[in-house]
Structure 1
Amino acid sequence: MSKRDPLPADVADLLTAVVEALDLPIPSIETADERKHYRLLENRTMHARIALQSLLRHRAHPDLADDAAYIRRCTAEHPVTYTPYKSDRMEAEG
């Protein structure tokens, strides 16, 4: 088995920003919450795609920290505004 190189810190930071942007709580079963969840996921996905596409287009001069900051800024500008799903089982355990 070949030895793996560790992920560079700036790459790990960018990937963390993408995961945090896309890791949304499941919405309640209310139709309005499902719509809000879908729109939010769509919006955050768009911003992550823009940042990653920019990196691929400008490979000679990547600025991973700036792209991670962009994703985090867009994520903060579009917070979760719907009611997350809560099951009876989760409440009993929690």
Structure 2
Amino acid sequence: MSSRWVPKWEIQKIEINNREESICYDTETKLYACPKCGPECLKGGIPRSSSYFFNKDDLINHFLAHKYLIWEKKKPKEIEEEEEEEEDEE
């Protein structure tokens, strides 16, 4: 048994907001991968960083959220200050 994931990508076409988009589906794990987060999947590779989903609906919602880039926005100042205090204590 191997401890390394070797995906077998299948490129599927879906329509999102009247546009045809290519998405990645791993036939081994039954996971969908976002090609915007990890475009390597479109070429059969293992993405360094990506988002994975168990169903198409969740992937579509994530795809639509890309225009907002919620996960890349800066953390609120209050949270940053708490983390700095914790580091100082160590």
TM-score by length of 1: 0.26
Q: Structure 1 or 2: larger helix share?
A: 1
Q: Structure 1 or 2: larger strand share?
A: 2
Higher RCO (C-alpha 8 Å, min separation 6): 1
TM-score by length of 2: 0.27
